[in-house]
Amino acid sequence: MIPRLVVLTDRSQLRLGRALVRTIGECAGAGLGAVVVREHDLSQQARAALVAELALIPGLTVLSSRIPDPSAHGLHLSADQAPPPEGAWGRSCHGRDDVRRAAALGASWVTLSPYGASPSKPGHGPALPPGDFAGHPVPVLALGGIDVDNAADAVAAGAHGVAVMGAVMRAADPAAVVADLLAVVA
């Protein structure tokens, strides 16, 4: 099952001098169980090397965003991608109907967004009603504007857990943010 906290990568948001692999390794040391590797701008070879390196971190489930990768433990699809013929996969969803369709196609989890206003995607919204995060046949991770201050609210609204990018990627101490998030969603 998908953990209650998943971090999505975006190395462009890291503070100057922070390396992505080291940052995710530190987050795994703080208890992070899963990461979705985005980094769609990298060459195929560089992205494959990144996924392979992250997959070596003990206890970390590595999910590749949109692009199947043999080193990844699963695949996280965009809203309109066809499911893979085999393996664990999830989907980005933007409403209750999207979640139902993903579950019917065999998704193991979904992200549902936007939960709130997101500095990573300004103007993306409006936020979904809190009730949209509850009562689904697959685990739902609330995504969009999630941070330590509202993660528990997302779970209280019915989400299985949260997916976070900016609050971790932009942090001075990403591992501390992961530990704080785990304390409120576990």
Query: Could you report the per-residue pLDDT of 9-49, keeping only the tens digit for each?
Result: 999 999 999 999 999 999 999 999 999 999 999 999 999 99
pLDDT surpasses 90 at 125: no
**Average pLDDT of the chain?**
96
pLDDT in tens, 69-120: 999 999 999 999 999 999 999 999 999 999 999 999 999 999 999 998 777 6
What is the domain-level CATH number for residue 101?
3.20.20.70
Cα distance between residue 54 and residue 88, in whole Å: 18
DSSP lists the bridge partners of residue 73 as none
Residue 126 domain boundaries: 5-185
Structural tokens at position 56: 């070596």
Return the DSSP state at 140. E
Share of the chain above pLDDT 70, in %: 96
Beta strands in the chain (DSSP E): 5-8, 34-37, 61-65, 74-77, 89-93, 109-112, 140-143, 161-164
**Cβ 159 vs Cβ 11: under 8 Å:** no
**Nearest CA-CA partner of 58 in 88, 24, 7, 89:** 24
**Cβ 161 vs Cβ 141: under 8 Å:** yes
Give whole-number Cα distances, 69 to 44, 142, 171, in Å.
10, 25, 28
What is this structure's pTM? 0.95
* Total of domains in the chain: 1
